[in-house]
Amino acid sequence: MEIPDDKGKSTPENSTIDTKKIRWSHKPQIMTCKHCDYKGLSKCEYDSGFIAWLMCGACIMVGCVFCCCLCPFCIEGLKICHHICPHCNKLVGSHHPGKL
Ligand SMILES: [Zn+2]
């Protein structure tokens, strides 16, 4: 019994376009809602991800305690961005700053 093995490939191919494989950005973007088929701009809800915490910790270690350790929380690109459908208010996808 042989199972086709794709695990050896380091780069997955984008053969099928799936909602799960959409490259979400950290800003509202045009999307098609998989729940209600709404086409339009998504709503973004930001969540401070672990990278923001990591940056915060790094800043504290460097020595600038209060000013710039809060900066990572102000940079939207460092936050997890949840794309919400403005029509049905369901989560359509999320952008994680660590994953490109
Ligand atoms: Zn929707």
Cα-based distances in Å from 91 to 1, 9, 27, 87: 40, 31, 15, 11
Tens digits of residue pLDDT in 54-92: 776 777 777 665 555 556 556 666 788 899 999 999 999
Ligand 1 centroid from CA 92, angstroms: 8
Instruction: List % helix, strand, coil for the chain (3-state, nearest 5).
Output: 25, 25, 50
Rounded distance from Cα 97 to ligand 1 centre (Å): 24
Q: What pLDDT is recorded for position 70? A: 58
* Cα–ligand 1 centroid distance for 86 (angstroms): 7
SS3 37: coil
**Least confident residue range of 6-10, 12-16, 40-44, 63-67:** 12-16
Q: How far is the CA of 96 from the centre of ligand 1 (A)?
A: 21
Question: What residues does the ion ligand 1 have nearby, CB within 5 Å?
Answer: 33, 35-36, 38, 85, 87-88
